[in-house]
Amino acid sequence: MSESIKIKNALISVYYKDGLAPLVQYLAQQGVTLFSTGGTEQFIKDLNLPVTAVEDLTGYPSILGGRVKTLHPKVFGGILNRRGLAGDQEQIAQYEIPEIDLVIVDLYPFEETVKSGGTAEEIIEKIDIGGISLIRAAAKNFNDVVIIASKADYGTLLQELQEQDGATTLAQRKSYAKKAFHTSSHYDTAIFNYFNTEEPLNVFKQSVNQSQTLRYGENPHQQGTFYGNLDEMFTKLNGKELSYNNLVDVDAAVSLIDEFTEPTFAILKHTNACGVASRATVLAAWTAALACDPVSAFGGVLITNQEVDLATATEINNLFFEVLIAPSYQPEAVELFKAKKNRVILQRNEVELSSKQFKTLLNGVIEQDKDLSLEGADQMTVVTEKAPSEASIKDLIFANKIVKHTKSNTIVFVKDNVLLASGVGQTSRVDALKQAVIKADSFGFSLIDAVMASDAFFPFPDCVELAAEAGIIAVLQPGGSIKDQDSIAMANQKGIAMVTTGVRHFKH
């Protein structure tokens, strides 16, 4: 096993050729024999560099519409032969197989074709066979062969070769092999997940190409990493890098705001909404949302589904906050926010989000469908003698949107499309209700003519009784308790309306 190997022969066959020219030119200057196929061969010829067609090496043309080009012993023998094994060397000499020291290969754009809505036939044709085989062969034989499976490594390899007189070290080859196996495993995962949609196999496979090291995890003593492409999701207009906790809150904020179509502002703290309001303008929505709980709003994550203008930005600027998210901003608003360099200002881009969610648990992973259900008036069944008014129904729908995105056990109070108060993350539902009543009172909100939503059924009538006594006139709950009738009877006794939806919205 040699530590340093100088490249004598190279096989180059790539789909993406941008950035390839300087590396190929250097190899040719070093006297490296270049083998290539199809478009890459023509690319090298256009650089006025000598190149040998793989067909001339194997004695076979490209066949089956290009499906078979490099699958031949003279190619794979050249890659897989072990330089330190006498038997291998005798055989490659016997069959006149050149030692291939460098393989530069990428893969057909399978994921891109799926994402762009390609036909089934187009997608299948983007399943690479020769390329994936070349990558695996060269990576397996990293003791003697360099494998470059991504255009991102062209420049790095060129610099190493220039510094080392055309040679590579074992450590470098092993590092490239690691990257190559990531490329092949990611590619195969994408193909498997494409096929695993109808009658899916009960297995869990995910692969994410990009990552970002976070300052730390949930606490400073924990390491944190985000796997994904934040730049695709957001354009950062100002501020420091997002932290682990920022990202968790941002995810919750995006999920909540996507429930609303009318101009809406939401303020979140530790993934729970402490202020939500829908109004005719973004400024009015901000003002109403902030009034819900200006204390908790301090240091929160803010999100709206409308453009932030200068007038709204001027009001927001009076509050210390961590992150602000909007689909767009007036330029003057951005300039105002930039006065404080650490505040994160994100412009949200149109990105299709996954309908699945998963997390590690115990010695494995749990996965589920996202809770995409949202019940409107048509899904509400009036179960009391009194029916809610049209205004109350609108508020119940609004409250249900919020309760769906709040930690269980939760109770939400709403009036006129504004969150008045909520009780979140309590171990009993009545405690959640009491917390919400206390919070509404602390900020001077009257619950007279307000509505209440619960994420799950009432096991006892006490919640309904306390809510009615606080002024609530309509209640939404999923129903399903063996004691539903007790809560319904209490609502009738207190003269308030109750609707059931049949859909529970636990959030743990």
Q: pLDDT of 319-372, one tens digit each?
A: 999 999 999 999 999 999 999 999 999 999 999 898 999 999 999 999 999 999
Average pLDDT over residues 114-129: 91
User: What whole-number distance in Å separates Cα of residue 237 and Cα of residue 250?
Assistant: 16
476-485 b/e (C-beta count within 10 Å ≥ 16 → b) = bbbbeeeebe
User: What whole-number distance in Å separates Cα of residue 49 and Cα of residue 45?
Assistant: 5
User: What whole-number distance in Å separates Cα of residue 40 and Cα of residue 54?
Assistant: 11
> CB of 224 within 8 A of CB of 215?
yes
Residue 1 in this model has a pLDDT that exceeds 70: no
Name the average pLDDT for the chain: 93
259-284 b/e (C-beta count within 10 Å ≥ 16 → b) = bbeebbbbbbbebbbbbbbbbeebbe
Q: In angstroms, what CA-CA distances link 322 with 227, 250, 342?
A: 21, 10, 8
> CB of 452 within 8 A of CB of 435?
no
User: What whole-number distance in Å separates Cα of residue 460 and Cα of residue 256?
Assistant: 29
Residue 231 in this model has a pLDDT that exceeds 50: yes
Average pLDDT over residues 386-404: 97
| 270 included as an active-site residue | yes
Residue 418 in this model has a pLDDT that exceeds 60: yes
Task: Match 């119940």 to its residue by tokens.
Answer: 396
Average pLDDT over residues 462-473: 96
pLDDT for 38: 84
Kindly report which listed range (58-62, 116-120, 177-181, 440-444) carries the lowest average pLDDT score. Answer: 58-62
Q: Which of 186, 270, 386, 394 is catalytic?
A: 270
Structure tokens at 399: 């409250």
Residue 359: enclosing H or E segment and its boundaries? strand 356-361
Peptide bond into 409 cis (omega under 30): yes
pLDDT for 37: 87
Residue 54 in this model has a pLDDT that exceeds 90: no
Share of the chain above pLDDT 90, in %: 83
Nearest to 40 by CA among 112, 130, 127: 130
Average pLDDT over residues 424-431: 95
Residue 2 in this model has a pLDDT that exceeds 60: no
> CB of 160 within 8 A of CB of 172?
yes
Q: Which of 140, 151, 182, 236 is catalytic?
A: 140
Task: Match 């919640």 to its residue by tokens.
Answer: 463
User: What whole-number distance in Å separates Cα of residue 464 and Cα of residue 487?
Assistant: 6
Structure tokens at 350: 């149109």
pLDDT for 60: 77
93 vs 257, more confident? 257
pLDDT for 56: 84
